Amino acid sequence: MKQDRQAEIDRQNKLLIKRLENIYKGQGTVDSWNQYKPHRYLLMLYLVFTPELANLIASFLIIFLLMF
């Protein structure tokens, strides 16, 4: 009983490792494209925060988005 359970866990682990290998070796294609319109979000920043703080937040957002 215990051996059967361990065998099933080992089999699932091997399947997960194969899936991860395929992800790492893959091309990294995008399966959906979002129509991103940053000017709307930047406008909201300027309406809610002071201009200096909005500029700071916008620069952090741009840097954050460029990381991914």
Per the domain annotation, does 9 fall within a domain?
A: no
Mean pLDDT of 19-44: 69
**What pLDDT digit, counting tens, does each position of 33-56 carry?**
666 555 666 677 777 777 888 788
Contact 45, 58 (CB under 8 A): yes
Q: How confident is the model at residue 23, as a pLDDT?
A: 73
Start-end of H helices in 1-50:
2-25, 38-48
Per the domain annotation, does 8 fall within a domain?
A: no
Q: How confident is the model at residue 41, as a pLDDT?
A: 65
2 versus 64: the higher-pLDDT residue is 2
Q: How confident is the model at residue 6, as a pLDDT?
A: 92
**Which residue range(s) make up the domain with 45?**
37-68
Task: Give how many domains the chain has, as a whole number.
Answer: 1
Per the domain annotation, does 3 fall within a domain?
A: no
* Percent of the chain whose pLDDT exceeds 90: 13
